[in-house]
Every structure is written in C-alpha cells, then in structure tokens.
Amino acid sequence: MHLSDFQIFLLISIIKIVVVLGITLTAVAYTVLLERKVLGRLQNRWGPSRVGPFGMLQPLADGIKLFLKEDMMPLAVERPLFILAPLIALSCALVSIAVVPFGRRTLVHGVDIFQISNINIGLLVILGITSIGVYGVALSGWSSNNKYSLFGSLRASAQLVSYELALGLSLVGVILRAGTLSLRGIVDSQSAHGLISWNFFGGFQFVAFFIYLMAAYAETNRTPFDLPEAESELVAGYHTEYSSMKFAMFFMAEYANMITVACVATLLFFGGATSPFGHLFDNVAVLNGPIIGALLSVFWFVVKIFGFLLLYIWVRGTLPRFRYDQLMGFGWKFLMPVAILNILATALALAYHS
Amino acid sequence: MELALFIIFGLLAVAGALNLLLQHHPINSALSLIVVMMSLAVLYWSLGAEFLAAAQVIVYSGAIMVLFVFVIMLLNAGEEDTSPGSKFSRVASIAGFPGAAAIFCLLTYVFLSERDHLGASRVGGYLSNTVNNIVDLSHTLFTSLLLPFEVTSILILVAILGAVVLARKEP
C-alpha cells in the first residue's frame, strides 16, 4: 500500500494525539496518587497503600468509583451551562499539551513525533487556552445556582484574571532572550551548553521564574492560592454541586493544568528536553544512537516535570492559605511591578550586549 | 483544506452572531459573542495574522469577555423583556435588515473594487509559506510607528488613571 505525504502526516498525527492524550490522562491519575502518597509521608502517615502493590492501583479504583457514582443533577441549575462548564475546563486543560515539545526533534517520514504541532506562536496559544479555561470555573459557579459555588467562581475568576497578567509579563524576558514565540525555538535557544545556558541559570531569569511559579500556583488554584475551593469557608467552591464524572472532570482539569504549567516552566526556564550536561557526553556512542538519544531526551523532560510536580505537593504540604486581600495585593502590588522591572533589566542587558 | 477551515469557522461566526441577537438571556448572548470572537481568531490565523489571532483570544475572549460574564453574574441579570416595544423599536426592526444588507453590499463593493490599493492576503497563511508576521509587526511597531504607539499607550494610561479616580470613594 502506498500512502501520500498528506495521508502519512494525518496518520502519524492521529497516533501522536491518541498516545499523548493517553499518557497525559494516566499521568494525571498517577499525579493524584503521588500527591496523596507524598502528602501522607509529609504528615507522618502512609497514604493509600491497600489497592495493589504499594497502592499502585488506587487511581483505577478511584476512577471506577467516580464512574459508577450516581450523577446528581440539582433541579435549580442552568442545565446546558452546568453540563458545558466541566467540559470547557477539562478540554482547555488538555488542549495545551498539543504544542508542548517533549523530546528532541525526531523526524519519522518528515513528521516530528515528539510534538503534536509546532506552531510559531506556541507560547501565546498556551496563554490563550489558559485564559479560555476561566470560563469553565466561572460558568460552573454561576450555573449551579448556589451561593457558595458563586462565591467560589467569583474568587477563582478574579484570581485567574489578575494573575494572568503577572504570568504573561514574567515570560517576556524569556521571549526577549529567545527572539521567538515558538516553544521549540525557545528550547533550542537554551541548548548550547547544557545546564549553564538554561534561562534559569545562564539567562539570569530566576526572578522571572519565581514570579512565574507563584502566578502558576494561583492559575491552577493550588495551595497557598486555593481560595476558590477553601473548604472551611465555601464547602468546595465552584464544584460544590457537581458529582460523579462531572466532578472528576474538574479534578482531572486541575491536575492536567498542573502538568501543563510544569511543562511550560520546564520549556521556558529549564531547557525543555535538553540534557543538563550539554555536549559533555557527545562522544559516548551508546548514548547518542537514534533511539536511545531520543528516549534520553524524553527522560530528561519527564524528570524535570516530575521535579515540578513534587515541588507542587511539597508546597501544598507546607504552606497555609492566603487571605483574599493579601492574595490580590500580592499579585498586583508585588508580582506585577517586579515582573515589569525584570523585563526592563533583561531588555537593557540584551541591548547592551548586542 | 484551508478553504474548509474558512467555511466552517465563517459559518460558526455568523451562527454565533445570530444566536447573540436571538438569545433572551444575557449570559447566553455573552457566550455567543465569545464563540464569534474565537471563530474570528481562527479566520485571522488562516489569513496569516497569527499574532492578531492570539491577541484576539487572550485580550477579547480571555479578558474582556470574562469581565462581561463577571458583571452579568454579579448583577444576576434575568431574562430579557421581549414584549412588543415602542414605535421606535418597530421602525428599527423594519429598517434594520435592509439597512444592514445595504451596508454589507457597500462594504463588499468598496473592498472588491479597491482591492489593488488595500492589498490582499491568501487563505492559508503559515501553511502556504508566507512570512512570519510577528517579526515584521514588531519591527514596524517599534520603528516607523513608534510615536503613534507611545501616544496610544499614554492615552490608555490616562484612561486607567481616570477610572481609578472615578472609582475612588470620597473620604
């Protein structure tokens, strides 16, 4: 059978999408398990340990439980929007993965297999999709017709819109250094000497990184910025009225967002799929074969993502929750001015060097 | 391929715009407006204006429409009153459709007849190997159009300060 170029492209793209989606959803399930385990250890207890060896089958059991639970539909909800909201939240969280390059450029029949689509404005696409994700939260709270849900969603949308600004501004320094908005291009700009040419170390973007990290915690509604779902004040925030799979969708969206945010941090500040050793081991033939080399690049990417996920859980186990006015003051009066100063400093340094 | 995208999202934009007018609940209208803006973003993208498309999504559907939805949620605006209105609204509904059609025809005529002066773009953009317009755009914006750009920024700054002054409570 002979396939045309377009058919090959279509076939490989579909396979890529299926595989990446499968891996992301599995990663989401196991991030939940990792969080429960590590949080358990941080609080001097075991965490889930009964289902399967070391509790490894716990996500499967949770999934079955959520699937089989009764799907309650409260009578006073705005029905179409109530159903639409979790779909928006989950699909926005999953779509961003499409532009992430998670390995070095590896062409099979002229198609890069480690990135679903290499878009020349990849970073802006991720920011755009994140900003659309606000609607999932906002609409879920409003359509639930419940005062706690509405408060939760008002808090969440105000917080997301405020921190999006600091988040966007913190990335400008990296874009200035790379001179491109394509994620592959940004990764390539840091690949010269391994660790020391990453934006975090060699690029002096650590201020931008910490601004990004804090804004990203707020964007994903994680502790210490999890006011939208503060259980001591708001029952469960915007997803109070949701049950069964609709609740699971919000839950998965939160963890998928965590993974996306970790991907962006890795790509922008920690060199993406490049090795921290740079070209140190380029003359070791075993590590540079076409297959082992490609797998090694994916390995470095996964290690970095894993580090970020552990950091998330560590922070959740350590820090208490902010008060709402402190949250807003921190975002607008501290993070944003510092981000602008960082842009100014980076631009001046680049202008001085060029 | 590009033509298929254009037809799908063009139809989606028109359908969203009609739905915006026909819906009675303000939040449904606001959501239809978001659909229109997203479809327009895809159309911009397919014409090779990637940055405009991203800005459309981030600024309009991601920030401004969030505020719209926010206000509708906070005011808890109910269903729109659709009882037959005044004489003026009846005149508007009779004159509106021919008027809109006339404006549409006029604009189409002007754009088609002055095509050589206005310039044209091919459907396909990035796929049909046009230049990466983010580089061109920023170059033009910060060299030959620097003064208008700065003046606009100062205008926006003045508007923000004005809003802050108006919103501040009297001591």
CB contacts of B54 in chain A (<8 Å) are 121, 124-125, 127-128
Rounded to the nearest integer, the mean pLDDT of chain A is 83
A158-185 pLDDT tens trace: 888 888 888 888 888 888 888 888 888 8
Q: A224 near A321, Cβ under 8 Å? A: yes
Contact A154 B58 (CB under 8 A): no
pLDDT digits (tens, 9 = 90+) for B91-129: 777 788 888 889 989 998 888 888 777 766 666 555 555
Q: Which residue, B132, B159, B71, B56, is CA-closest to A157?
A: B71
Residues B142 and B113 in one domain: no
SS3 at position A349: helix
According to DSSP, the β-strands at A111-112 and A107-108 are antiparallel
**What pLDDT was estimated at residue B131?**
59
A interface residues, B as partner, C-beta within 8 Å: 81, 119-121, 124-125, 127-128, 130-132, 134-135, 138-139, 141-142, 150, 153-154, 157-158, 161, 164, 168, 181
> Is residue B126 domain-shared with residue B142, that is, in the same domain?
no
Burial B84-113 (b: 16+ CB within 10 A, else e): eeeeeeeeeeeeeeeeeeeeeeeeeeeeee
Cβ(A318)–Cβ(A120) below 8 Å: no
SS3 state of residue A107 = strand
- Residue appearing with tokens 């206000």: B71
Q: What is the pLDDT of residues B10-36, one digit of tens each?
A: 899 999 988 888 887 888 888 899 999
Res B151 pLDDT > 80: yes
- The share of chain A scoring above pLDDT 90, in percent, equals 1
**Residue B40 sits in the same domain as residue B111:** yes
Predicted local distance difference test score (pLDDT) of residue B81: 65
Is A61's pLDDT higher than 80? yes
Closest CA relative to residue A93, chosen from A215, A211, A208, A256: A256
Within this chain, do residues B98 and B161 fall inside the same structural domain, yes or no?
no
Domain positions in chain A are: 5-353
Q: Is the pLDDT of residue B134 over 80?
A: no
Three-state DSSP class for residue A273 = coil
CA distance A118 to chain B (A): 11
Q: Which residues are registered as beta bridge partners of A111?
A: A108
Please check whether residue B41 is in contact with residue B87, taking contact to mean a CB–CB distance below 8 angstroms. no
Q: Is A61 exposed, middle or buried (0-12, 13-18, 19+ CB in 10 A)?
A: middle
Domain residues for the domain of B92 are: 2-79+86-130
Whether residues B165 and B105 fall in one domain:
no
* B169 phi, psi to nearest 5 deg: -75, 145
Contact call for A158 and B61, based on CB within 8 A:
no
**Could you tell me if B13 and B40 are in contact, meaning their C-beta atoms sit under 8 angstroms apart?**
yes
Residue type at A346?
A: T
Chain B residue with CA closest to A128: the answer is B58
| Rounded average pLDDT over A82-95 | 88
Q: Which of A52-56, A164-168, B40-44, B75-79 has the least mean pLDDT?
A: B75-79
Stated as kind and residue range, the H or E segment containing A111 is: strand A111-112
CA dihedral A159, A164, A166, A168 (to 10 degrees): 170
Q: How many residues does chain A have?
A: 354
Number of domains forming the structure of chain B = 2
Averaged pLDDT for residues A210-224: 85
Summarised one tens digit per residue, pLDDT across range A124-154 is 888 888 888 888 888 888 888 888 888 888 8
Same domain membership, residue B91 and residue B156 = no
pLDDT, residue B132, reads: 62
* Mean pLDDT of all residues in A94-123: 81
